[in-house]
Structure 1
Amino acid sequence: MTNTCLKIAVIGLGNIAKQHIENIISAQVQGVELVAVCSRTRSELSEEYGLAHYQDYKSLIDSKLADAVIIATPTMTHFEIAKYALQNNIHVMLEKPIGLSSFEGEQLITYQKKDTKFALMLNQRTAPVFTKMKSIVESGILGNIQRTHWTMTNWFRPEIYFQVSDWRATWRGEGGGLLVNQAIHNLDVFQWICGLPIQIRGFCEFGKYHDIEVEDEVTAYLKYQNGATGIFVASTGEAPGVNRLEIAGDKGALIFNAGKLTLVENMQSTAAFNKQTNDMFGMPDSRSKPVLIDEDVNQHALVMNNFINAILHEEALIAPASAGLASLDMANAMLLSTWKNLPVNLPLNRHDYQQHLDTKIQSSSLRAKSSRQANVDMSASYR
């Protein structure tokens, strides 16, 4: 890519698309020119900023007006739009998840050409607290990981969130609910820091708190290759909810709770103390200290800037599209385990999961959108 400024278009004009547009217009995303938007109805944005407007994504892509597109449409359309853009050598930044399932995502990646960048908006990989946690775990200071536990129940969503959308929280439109929409971020960060488990036993509740057909509460038990175990708990029906991530190792623990990060270091490894002490009720001495996270970043803008630099300057992608398969595998495994009432091994048999999902989709339909007007504050949607 020899251009010094990338021409980009946004497909979809929902809440998150408008945030991407704002980041570009306010110059929080550099090296890019917004040239067009695509939506079924004409937007004031296109007139206000002199942007070309297309009602059909194929017409936009065929025009060759844009070098890259941001796809921020309902999940059920991700595959067809991204496939068409990739087939036409257009760079793609796709909103999460990569598809209705990891099987669909795996198929989509096959359409990427060698010289085309395909990235996924896994923005929480840029959150300073999570990048710090990853570096601490990788440093080995915790020793061998023994246990992981993430309770993420402050994804509360009221009924109107679902009512004003025809596709959200349906098997046909989204491929699931809590796991593939809100908690997909947590699952991505969880496996990014701690690694993928080798087995998952999931317990999903469907429409427990909302008038929806998909999951809105999940508890899952994880097993890892090294013998470590884990728990993942998530909900969109609990308020105020909890956001607590614990990573316990042989030499200490890392605890993220209510926005604060704490590192606990054992003076002697647990395994060594266990074998050597003569104290019947002894415990290794430890010291606890806060890990200060004073950096505040625009996560979406960081990922977009990385995408632009990957195209213009061959910078390594923070989240290539393929990185989105692992978290979907975990989400899909939790659902499949619930449906089968059995543990599910990873690597996931994606074809098996897809067959089960297809059965759900066959009996699923999009809902009639409510005429209620929702008050939208996107800053309140992030956890």
Structure 2
Amino acid sequence: MRAAVRFGIIGCGMIAAHHARAIHALRGLAELVAVADRHADRAARLACEHGVAAYRSLEALLRHPGLDAVCICTPSGEHAAQAIAALEAGKHVVIEKPADVSLAAIDRIAAARRAPAQKITVISQHRFDRSTQLVREAVRAGHLGRLTLGAAQVRWWRPQSYYDARAWRGTWRWDGGGALMNQSIHTIDLLQWLMGPVVEVSAYSACLAHERIEVEDTAVAAVRFAGGALGIIAGTTAAYPGLTARLEIHGDHGSAIIDNDELIYFHSAVLSTGTPDEPINQAARLLGYAPAMPAASAGANPANLSTAHQEQLRDFVTAILEDREPLVTLEEGRKPVEIILAIYASARRGRPVRLPLEERAGA
């Protein structure tokens, strides 16, 4: 029997707790052995909760005996430098979203990878939700027909105290953006994963409900996909009291709606039985149970995250043990960042922006 993959976590804020619980749930496959944070009290709390070693720096963490992989849970603008340090130390790397705040930084991570056996993943946990997987399969099988319209809507609320609590939040350098880069990136990733590559965006952005932040709390964009379909992206942290993240995929033979990670609507003419009493909403048939109404979400409280981190880390550990690429590679993690950066550029320039962008390592 192969030994469990031994993980360390750098950055012991709120998201680190989700990584720690996900690792703990993968008994036999993964083991948390150490954590680190420049704030010793944060590292000590998380270490005490899980009975592991605590350090005050990434350098010290990387020297922990037998460490195999590192989860990077620090401010977004620190991700590349820390990922590169971990890769150079021979570790596998899990990067909490986004991979970093610039494409050049992400490309530097790719360049630091020593060999294919060294694995990198970027957290996009909702690709592993059953709802997403069902819609992905339906799209690939042609059950929705030709895709025509996609919509990603994140209608969340963050009080001013959320931004004031951490100096890095709401800054271009460390947060990389606002409602899109921090909160909406998962839904944007799912939109492009299901609808296909984005080739052009036209956008507006604004800060409408917060003070003392450099970035947007509201943004909208019209999107054109490579396959000819059109799309809408709307993200905000200024929708009180905080509603759900919603993803809609429409085609000329069917539609699917995922709200708060639940498949709440699905209909495909291809899968229709044609019987008079067949319900229009086929979601229950696909799921095997009646879809739930949206429950508590991260719309009002960022601590209300799903348990999907566990499934992504399971895939990552299996990729290490089987020497294959994880479902979400670094290149996949780069794609939503590029879309968001294109939206920011369009809003700043006041005109459409085409993708791919030209920013690369060394640019």
| Shorter-chain TM-score tier | 0.7 to 0.9
- Cα RMSD (Å): 2.5
Change (3 A) 1:233 1:113: same
- The answer to whether the Cα contact below 8 Å between 1:92 and 1:118 also exists between their aligned partners in 2 is yes
Change (3 A) 1:219 1:315: same
**1:323 maps to amino acid:** E
TM-score by length of 1: 0.80
Residues 1:226 and 2:227 are matched in the alignment: yes
Identity between Structure 1 and Structure 2 (%): 29
Task: Name the CA distance, whole Å, in 2 between partners of 1:72 and 1:257.
Answer: 26
Query: What pairs up with 1:182-331 in 2 under 5 angstroms?
Result: 182-205=183-206, 207-211=207-211, 212-239=213-240, 240-241=242-243, 243-257=245-259, 259-266=262-269, 288-292=280-284, 293=287, 294=289, 298-331=307-340
SS at match of 1:310: helix
Deviation at 1:266, TM superposition (A): 4.7
Deviation at 1:24, TM superposition (A): 3.0
CA deviations on 1:275-313 (whole Å, 9 max, x unpaired) are xxxxxxxxxxx9722312359983011111111111123
Mean Cα deviation higher: 141-150 or 7-16: 141-150
Counterpart among 142, 147, 150 of residue 148 in structure 1: 150
Change (3 A) 1:257 1:307: closer
- The answer to whether the Cα contact below 8 Å between 1:171 and 1:213 also exists between their aligned partners in 2 is yes
Q: Residue in 1 aligned with 2:178?
A: 177
Mean Cα deviation higher: 292-301 or 302-311: 292-301
Change (3 A) 1:7 1:149: closer
Deviation at 1:3, TM superposition (A): 4.5
Q: Residue in 2 aligned with 1:103?
A: 104
Task: Name the CA distance, whole Å, in 1 between partners of 2:232 and 2:26.
Answer: 37
Deviation at 1:90, TM superposition (A): 0.6
- The answer to whether the Cα contact below 8 Å between 1:30 and 1:305 also exists between their aligned partners in 2 is no
Matched length: 332
Change (3 A) 1:16 1:193: same
- The answer to whether the Cα contact below 8 Å between 2:169 and 2:175 also exists between their aligned partners in 1 is yes
Deviation at 1:257, TM superposition (A): 4.5
Query: Runs of 5+ in structure 2 lacking a partner?
Result: 271-277, 293-305
Deviation at 1:322, TM superposition (A): 1.7
In our comparison, the structure showing a higher alpha carbon Rg is 1
Deviation at 1:251, TM superposition (A): 2.1
- The answer to whether the Cα contact below 8 Å between 2:196 and 2:227 also exists between their aligned partners in 1 is no
Task: Name the CA distance, whole Å, in 2 between partners of 1:321 and 1:46.
Answer: 28
Q: Residue in 2 aligned with 1:77?
A: 78
Change (3 A) 1:30 1:179: farther
Change (3 A) 1:199 1:242: same
Task: Name the CA distance, whole Å, in 2 between partners of 1:176 and 1:242.
Answer: 20
- The answer to whether the Cα contact below 8 Å between 2:23 and 2:313 also exists between their aligned partners in 1 is no
- The answer to whether the Cα contact below 8 Å between 1:306 and 1:315 also exists between their aligned partners in 2 is no
SS at match of 1:245: strand
- The answer to whether the Cα contact below 8 Å between 2:315 and 2:327 also exists between their aligned partners in 1 is yes
Query: Runs of 5+ in structure 1 lacking a partner?
Result: 268-285, 356-383
Change (3 A) 1:173 1:243: closer
Deviation at 1:72, TM superposition (A): 0.7
Task: Name the CA distance, whole Å, in 1 between partners of 2:6 and 2:245.
Answer: 38
CA deviations on 1:313-357 (whole Å, 9 max, x unpaired) are 3354121122111100110000000111111111122259x98xx
Q: Residue in 1 aligned with 2:118?
A: 116
